[in-house]
Structure 1
Amino acid sequence: MASNSICARCLKHALRSAPHAPPAPRRAFTSSTTKQPAQPPARRRTIHQASTPRAPALAPHQTTTPPIATPAYPNAHARQAAAQDAADHERRVLLQPDNLFHPFTTSPAPEIRKRAQFMRRNAYCPHPDHQPVRAPADPHTPGQHPHPPTTATAASPPAHVKHECPDCGIPVSCSPEHFLDAYESHLEICDLLRQINEDDHDLHSGRFFPEFEMPGPQLDEAQVNLTNWDTLLYSREFSAVDDERSMRQVTRLLTYPITIGSVLHELSPYNLSNQLQPEGLRSLSALRYTLHPPRTGAGLDIKGLRPNPPPIRLFILGARAESSLPRDVWLQLAHLFPRSTFHLILIGPESMSNRDAEFPLPERTPQNPYGAVVEARGLGGQIKISTYVEYYHTLHEAQHFHPFDPYFDCFVLFHPGLGHPSSSHEWAATLPQLLETKVPILCTGYSQFDMERDIEWVRTHSQGEADLILKPGENRFRSLRWDLSDSDPGDVSCGNFGVWGFRGKRYEADSYRGKEEASGGGSGGWDK
């Protein structure tokens, strides 16, 4: 309250009624005017001493990283955030390159310990004394027991794996006795399992991964060499990868887009002298005509406006791991074709697995009847990704993607399991629809046995209405890292090991030239 706004009498009354505060101490301008109270002399800090006081010494039973106490939070969101912080604190373990081997059950990474628990609950001992619980795997797979279990010879019930191999650190047997009995067959894959162990711990080591830095677009004049991984990474100006483990990690991600690009590119290593069939050259020539358009002299002004072709639609059916790839990895496919645009359509009931928190599924509305998740922002305008958590035959029957054009469409099936006993029934309704489109279909497999099983299933169920456009063979851009099946530790495979392709048979009208030449019919077959 200002003194000029009240009378003098009221001002005196207000000052008289105010509480008396203690007088402020007078400040001394020199040390000699006032004497400070005596204090104990402080220890002088040296230049290398930390400014903060050091913690007391730890007792012998204490650890260097005490557990984080989780306080009581008022809501579930804060509680979940605190739990995530505690998990990040536990995950903050830096493993050195010479300390990557750890048994799965005692691993410093909590994710790997959970994986070991899952294997102990779901994987069974492959010893022939146990009754079989699954169909026999590939007989040519290394590490298989020389005498697989049969119902006639097996006496004891199935048992889960509990005993870990001391050399690879992965549970492979139910007891030490069965492990020693099958030790010879286990030696065939023991070194490979140890490599898988170290690669998994490398991902959870906490180190920086320079090999995961993907390059951007490059000049059109710079040609891409698709001979193998080394020439591709060099011509695409990737950071130098000198370590074999880093090479395995980066190829595990790049194998999906580069496998597609290596087949569709005009500089593809697959030609008529290497796996490609004459009918495959027809199909790929149509796609390459769109993927490599001629220069039209387009500019930024009105005179430079040119019509652009529609994007290439890549239907990836049965999408699983490829749907959760970082989008920078999928952009590498667009960088191989700088003058084309792509629309990746991921279809499958597992296409959004482990991504619920990232992209919650939208409601199905008349504008979006199948709940598609569309990603277009932040992808440079050259690629768009749509995800459908649905079976393809449902979308095909509704004509959601019609019409199909061999110049703009292609189907891709990564490890589809067409002939696998547990998944072949899911493809029975889809195969006739794929053949009806007359669009090329590219497939990959985990092994040669897996591809041959899928090819035999397609040959049987297509009833002569399919043409083989790409012979099965090893994929030049397969993943160099090996993977382990959690339900069967002896099943070791690598992503996109082999590649092959087929297409619905096309019948073209031709003039009649006699009975001998007209008896062929069709555009080709599996044996031509």
Structure 2
Amino acid sequence: MASKSICRRCLKLAASTPTRSITSRAQHRAFSSTVSKQPSQERRIHHSSRQKAPEVESQRSHVPQDIPPYTTNLGQQPSQKHEDSSERTLLQPNNLFHPFTTSPSPQIRRRAATIRQNAYCPHPDHQATRSPISPHDTENRKTQGISPPAHVRHECPDCGIPVSCSEEHFASDYESHLEICDTLRQINEDDHDLVSGRFFPEFEYPPARFEEAQVNMTNWDTLLFSRGFEAVNAERSMRQVTRLLTYPITVGSVLHELSPYALGKEGRLTPEGLRSLSALRYTLHPPRTGAGVDIKGLRPNPPPVRLFILGARAESSLPREVWVQLSHLFPRVSFHLIFIGPESMANRDDEFPLPERTPSNPFGAIVEDRLGGQMKVSTYVEYFHTLYEAQHFAPFDPYFDAIILFHPGLGHPASSHEWSPTLPQLLATKIPIICTGYTDYDMQRDIAWVKKEAKGEMDVLLEPAENRFRSLRWDLNDLDPGDVSCGNWGVWGFRGKRYETDEYRGRDE
């Protein structure tokens, strides 16, 4: 028996036991159903070694006599194989709730440590740590606080997230915590679902369908059904799939000719918005030209529709299959997605190392051009006003261009100064600008800031309200567990004011 293939405990066992007894014991452990169903505590240490390649081991037809006891568990019954496959799943659907600090997932335990290190207790007895940024900010309640700030340590037993510095403060402020406790528990279960190890059929996206199959953009259910997605019958699965699809579908729902946003109070589209979107829809829905593969079928192709996604963050790192769903809504045109922002390549340095800035690529753009033949993606780790001053994208065409701002924080105190030099340039392009917001207050704050800075040189294209294709999943702010929001909750649009001139025919008599 080779000692290099045996652990220290088994070597000690081999030195003190005759060879025949070891062999008989190995055979007994390999084919005894009682031992396989109820392994001892010692065998559980080696139990994971046979999970790494169960399919290869199950193909062996015999058990050699010179292997140690912990590797002889090869003759498994089919039920035993099924038990092993289920053990690979970290969590089951009926066992998704776990406190963050004692979660079976190391990733969530690290997140709990981040929350406990950075988040402060919201109890009104504490002193404020910063200026409140909204009426719903928990710092508004600390105007009369006398105790020094303290980090959260105590976890709520109902939601499993650290929300208070002590059990006493949690009990005395329990009534205010009840307002978001159910939502926090839902976030807890959704986060554990992502790391559960299960297979996610909701993340398998359908290919392009024939053009005659119209999409129904009334809501998420009708869209997924008309696009041919696999049936999503669970609310949690629906929350997971909409968390990613909300970015391309929000854009498509505004630009599509079957958009749910139309003229009128309920449709929210303004007359100026109809004029701007009609120009884009003329390009996005071209008539059939009789093009073919032979010489007679050659037709000139229009340039791609450019979508400038400014301040890109998480949306730039989405799987490209998600963004390709946008091109499936407009099968006759091609798209060029342009992600712009200093954080557009965050956490992606290993995936796409930043190229050097050369005369042929002065801003170090990263180009992905093999995305289904109808989409091209370019990423610029740069501010838009720098690219605009260099005339890198000029000229802008209202028939082919649009600007998208996902949660830009235009009016946020921490980021409004970064948008100050960019807003006049956005208005000067005269192309539609589609904006989203995390909450109603976040969206209204951006609108107020734009109106103040534009000084009347803007037209509202889409009245602000809740987005029909917002993310159904709620997100938690690790720096403030009381701050709960969802992606693209609201949507609105604006554009630089256009002045129409008429021919002068003389003074009327």
Shorter-chain TM-score above 0.5: yes
- Asked if residue 311 in structure 1 is aligned to residue 304 in structure 2, the reply is yes
* Correspondence list, 1:323-472, <5 A: 323-377=316-370, 379-472=371-464
Map Cα deviations across residues 122-154 of structure 1 (whole Å, 9 max, x no partner): 11111122221233243358xx58x7112xx22
Match of 2:84?
none
- Asked if residue 106 in structure 1 is aligned to residue 88 in structure 2, the reply is no
**What letter is aligned with 1:332?**
Q
Q: Distance in 2 between matches of 1:497 and 1:166?
A: 29
**What letter is aligned with 1:231?**
T
Q: Distance in 2 between matches of 1:54 and 1:477?
A: 50
Q: Distance in 1 between matches of 2:171 and 2:431?
A: 52
* Correspondence list, 1:271-290, <5 A: 271-273=262-264, 274-290=267-283
Change over 3 Å in CA distance of 1:43–1:148 after alignment to 2: closer
Change over 3 Å in CA distance of 1:351–1:302 after alignment to 2: same
* Correspondence list, 1:151-170, <5 A: 153-170=144-161
Q: Secondary structure at the match of 1:225?
A: coil
* Correspondence list, 1:203-214, <5 A: 203-214=194-205
Query: How far 1:156 sits from its partner (Å)?
Result: 1.9
Query: How far 1:49 sits from its partner (Å)?
Result: 3.3
Q: Distance in 2 between matches of 1:485 and 1:398?
A: 37
Work out the number of aligned pairs and report it.
Answer: 448
Query: How far 1:314 sits from its partner (Å)?
Result: 0.2
Q: Distance in 1 between matches of 2:285 and 2:38?
A: 69
Cα RMSD for the two superposed structures: 2.8
**What letter is aligned with 1:478?**
R
* Correspondence list, 1:137-176, <5 A: 137-139=133-135, 148-150=141-143, 153-176=144-167
Match of 1:20?
none
Query: How far 1:390 sits from its partner (Å)?
Result: 0.8
CA contact (8 A) 2:306 2:401 kept: yes
* Correspondence list, 1:242-261, <5 A: 242-261=233-252
CA contact (8 A) 2:163 2:170 kept: yes
Give the greater-gyration-radius structure (CA): 1
Unaligned runs of 5+ in 2: 1-19, 51-86
Match of 1:124?
120
Query: How far 1:57 sits from its partner (Å)?
Result: 5.8
Q: Distance in 1 between matches of 2:289 and 2:391?
A: 34
CA contact (8 A) 1:346 1:388 kept: yes
CA contact (8 A) 1:93 1:108 kept: no
Match of 2:31?
49
Q: Distance in 1 between matches of 2:106 and 2:385?
A: 40
Q: Secondary structure at the match of 1:148?
A: helix
Identity of aligned residues (%): 72
Q: Distance in 2 between matches of 1:252 and 1:492?
A: 15
Unaligned runs of 5+ in 1: 1-38, 69-90, 516-528
Q: Secondary structure at the match of 1:472?
A: strand
Q: Distance in 2 between matches of 1:154 and 1:180?
A: 17
Match of 1:508 among 470, 483, 500: 500
CA contact (8 A) 2:342 2:381 kept: yes
Match of 1:199 among 161, 170, 190: 190
Q: Distance in 2 between matches of 1:281 and 1:212?
A: 34
Q: Which has the higher helix share?
A: 2
Map Cα deviations across residues 390-426 of structure 1 (whole Å, 9 max, x no partner): 1111111111111100000000000000000001011
Match of 1:217 among 205, 208, 212: 208
- Asked if residue 226 in structure 1 is aligned to residue 217 in structure 2, the reply is yes
Q: Distance in 2 between matches of 1:483 and 1:351?
A: 20
Match of 2:471?
479
**What letter is aligned with 1:486?**
D
CA contact (8 A) 2:89 2:198 kept: no
Query: How far 1:58 sits from its partner (Å)?
Result: 3.8
Q: Distance in 1 between matches of 2:292 and 2:335?
A: 22
Q: Secondary structure at the match of 1:499?
A: strand
Q: Distance in 2 between matches of 1:205 and 1:364?
A: 42
